[in-house]
Amino acid sequence: MVPVNPFPLASKTSHGYDVDAVDAFLAQARAAYDADSPAAVLTSASVRQVSFPMKRGGYQVAPVDDALERLEIAMAERERERAIEREGWEGFTQRTRETSLEIIARLSRPRRKRFRRVFFLNSGYRVTAVDDLSDIILSYLESGAPLSADQVRNAVFVSQRGGYDEQQVDVVLDAVIEVILASGRR
């Protein structure tokens, strides 16, 4: 019997995600989710941060990314439920509030000074684009303006010499996504 692929394949001349890498990660994710263990090794953050090598004829990127997004949301909802069980509603909301306040403190810095800059000959994220998204995030955190995890997750920044340190920006954006998902929003 021919195995059925869970995702459509790219053409033999096009690149897609490595089939074996995706299948192995999804098997690990399924086992972690089915184990129903409070000490899960696989978290919503690890789903959000996973990357796969590209191969000719691999899985088409968009369907895999859509499935990963659904998996991340399911894992985040489970993590939220467990955190509330473990910490109680007040403890959970207090921890989420503290994370929000840390993000607000970072993003309330003056524009062009919100993150560490890379050496002027190196490339980092375009400062104005990151600052624009930071303003939107601040509006969400301070006044409840609309913002979804997708908007943050799918943010793309072109590079510029002497731009913001990508790793530092990514850590903050990851925390923003976790706050949004902790609130029960998507």
Domain locations along the chain: 15-182
Name the stretches of the chain with pLDDT < 70: 1-3, 36-40, 186
Q: Which of 138, 136, 117 is nearest to 127 (CA)?
A: 117
Q: How far apart are CA 46 and CA 53, in angstroms?
A: 16
Res 5: pLDDT: 82
Report pLDDT for 34.
78
Given this model, what pLDDT does residue 43 score?
87
Tell me the pTM. 0.81
Per the structure block, which two tokens stand in for 162?
């002497």
The per-residue pLDDT for 1 is 54
